[in-house]
Structure 1
Amino acid sequence: MSPAADTAVAAASPIASFYGGGRVVRGLARVLQAVQKFAPGFGTRAALGLFFTPLPSKRSARRLAVPAGWRVERWPFETGSMAVYRRADAEPGRPTVLLVHGWAGHGLQMQALGDAVAAAGLNPVLLDLPGHGRSDGWRSTLPQFVRALWAASARLGPLHAVVAHSMGALAASHALAHGLPAQRLALIATSPPPKLVLKWFAHGFGLGAAMSMRMRRLIEQREGIDLEHFEADELAPRLPRATLVVHDEDDRAAPAMLARRLADQVAGSRWLATRGLGHRRVLAEPQVLRVVAEHVTRPIGIDDSGQ
């Protein structure tokens, strides 16, 4: 990315605005700053604890009724379980499409897309990722998202397609780039890479660049994964030609220029830009539902050149 583009993305930081308001949050920032000054190691762990906690809380998502026509299952995952939503009328033998929400979201945010996929003749499966929705836990990480996708694939068998939103799209990109068996991929409002999100987080709390570097090193040590592997330059060459990238030009949580850069680097990818929908309303936009359903049902071998 050029220096000018990097500056523009940094200036548009959604993390700073998300955490920057409110008396409680400002007080928490002062505490973190003080702890960082006198005990950097403890301050880094405290900052990571907050960084790994999806906000707002998943309590509201847990109270949502399971929609008519869907049923919820629980699958074991690591030390707990994940909630999974499947269509009650799913027909055995139909190709499976895994739909993945983003950070601080929940599986039912993908219901409209799931219904569109079902209407197109495929079997949709929605996940509540660890620490989200009805799944166990209150904290999660991007590498854990990736492990959850591998666990779901092991349970479901080879996937026809993965449709993923925000940080779930980043996790899905990493999983497919490293061999997750799926023929097609649709990325919606793809999250920025974790290095940039860590910088935004540290800036939003006035913790400085050194803190973001310490947080990154600790994540990599704990998870046994190099966050560099989530960068577009690393992922794009390994993604399938049958990749659709959807992004709203007015998305304040994930700058569109980053998603466009990823799409430009995936050979044969398709690009769909929308306007006025932001980060989450894009998930229920009729045009997006139609294009995603068409993409996941298109036979392999049909031209997937970008548009």
Structure 2
Amino acid sequence: MQLTHPNPAAAFFTSAPARAVARLLRGLDRLAPRLSTRLALGLFFTPLPTKRLARGRPVPAPWTLSELPFENGHLGVWQRADALPDAPRVLLVHGWAGDAQQLRAQGDRLLAAGLAPVLLDLPAHGRAGGWRTNLGQWVRALFAVTARFGPWQGVVAHSLGAVASAHAMARGLPVQRAALIALAPPPRLFLSWFAAAMGVGEALAERMQRRIEQRVGVEMAQFDPAWLAPRLKQPTLLVHDHADRTAPLAGSAAMAEGAAQAVLLRTEGLGHRRVLQDGWVLQQVERHLAAQ
């Protein structure tokens, strides 16, 4: 796959320790490709920066935090204590290396509109258990939280969480409406970025793809807009910023073009994360999810 966007993974490997790991990986790849693939997968499945900072932040009232058992650990589930018990529920999903609290502003706004927000800390993120995770596990986590708290009036999801949410909806997750913000690029492109950032050839990315597909049990192509869009039947709002240096706008554009009921809103100057706090974006997402 050609690299059609500046490599965002490079920023994570500029420190001296990261460069040392990259040198080790390059040496292993020449001498022991299987071992280098195992090391690369360990790095690839570890969110950077880690969740330590998110764990230290207090739970602000009136939000409450509970643990939902999941596989060998637990998920973090955030709810508003003042939400009406019979209000339609909306699930809010963060992206890679993010956490639930990034979506509190949107959750507060949805509560004011008469909805009940449920924020989720996915595995290895925020207050959830574990230190490594993968996209297939995220999809399973979405079904697990839905079995306990769903069905959903809507889903709001950011970045890689938007990819996982779109895949879960394509697999039957009960959702009436969706808002996908800063949709992440296809995972296969991330593999190419990762291998390039580490200074290793595309052969490593191909080996990693095969191992991931064996572990997850899903072909990576099923997380691409070309596969997801025709299966996305819900009214869907896509929000993406022209200045997003992490996720190319092209992914959201392709999803909007291929989905039956999708609208793409383009923003300017908000980048990949500030888009989650922008007042106009919060308003557009609220209006979309509250629509009948």
Q: Which category describes the TM-score, using the shorter chain as reference length?
A: over 0.9
> 1 CA distance for matches of 2:150 and 2:127?
23
SS of aligned partner of 2:173: coil
Query: Aligned AA for 1:199?
Result: S
**Residue 28 (structure 1) aligned with residue 21 (structure 2):** yes
Structure 1 length as normaliser, TM-score?
A: 0.93
After the TM superposition, which of the residue ranges 153-162 and 125-134 deviates more from structure 2?
153-162
Q: In the alignment, what sits opposite 1:240? A: 233
**Residue 229 (structure 1) aligned with residue 201 (structure 2):** no
Query: Superposition pairs for residues 16-165 of structure 1, below 5 Å?
Result: 16-19=10-13, 21-165=14-158
2:3 and 2:192 in contact (8 A); partners too: no
Q: In the alignment, what sits opposite 1:8? A: 4
Structure 2 length as normaliser, TM-score?
A: 0.98
Query: Aligned AA for 2:191?
Result: L
> 1 CA distance for matches of 2:159 and 2:240?
10
What's the CA shift for 1:150? Answer: 0.5
Structure 1 pair 203–7 and aligned structure 2 pair: CA distance change class (3 A): closer
Describe the superposition over 1:274-305 as per-residue Cα deviations: whole angstroms up to 9, x where unpaired: 11111101001000000000000000xxxxxx
Describe the superposition over 1:116-141 as per-residue Cα deviations: whole angstroms up to 9, x where unpaired: 11111000000010000111000110
What's the CA shift for 1:215? Answer: 0.4
Query: Aligned AA for 1:211?
Result: L
> 1 CA distance for matches of 2:233 and 2:109?
22
2:88 and 2:152 in contact (8 A); partners too: yes
2:236 and 2:263 in contact (8 A); partners too: yes
Query: Aligned AA for 1:246?
Result: V
2:90 and 2:152 in contact (8 A); partners too: yes
Describe the superposition over 1:179-209 as per-residue Cα deviations: whole angstroms up to 9, x where unpaired: 1010101000111010000000000001110
1:184 and 1:240 in contact (8 A); partners too: no
Query: Superposition pairs for residues 195-234 of structure 1, below 5 Å?
Result: 195-234=188-227
What's the CA shift for 1:7? Answer: 5.1
| Structure 1 runs of 4+ with >4 Å offset | none
Total equivalences in the alignment = 292
Structure 1 pair 224–251 and aligned structure 2 pair: CA distance change class (3 A): same
% of aligned pairs identical? 52
SS of aligned partner of 1:215: helix
2:48 and 2:97 in contact (8 A); partners too: yes
1:183 and 1:240 in contact (8 A); partners too: no
Query: Aligned AA for 2:117?
Result: P
Q: In the alignment, what sits opposite 2:177? A: 184
Query: Aligned AA for 1:185?
Result: A
1:161 and 1:296 in contact (8 A); partners too: yes
Q: CA RMSD in A?
A: 1.1
Mark the runs of 5 or more structure 2 residues left unpaired by the alignment: none
Mark the runs of 5 or more structure 1 residues left unpaired by the alignment: 300-307
**Residue 267 (structure 1) aligned with residue 263 (structure 2):** no
2:121 and 2:128 in contact (8 A); partners too: yes
Describe the superposition over 1:79-116 as per-residue Cα deviations: whole angstroms up to 9, x where unpaired: 11111100011111111100000000000001001111
SS of aligned partner of 1:146: helix
After the TM superposition, which of the residue ranges 65-74 and 259-268 deviates more from structure 2?
259-268
Structure 1 pair 186–80 and aligned structure 2 pair: CA distance change class (3 A): same
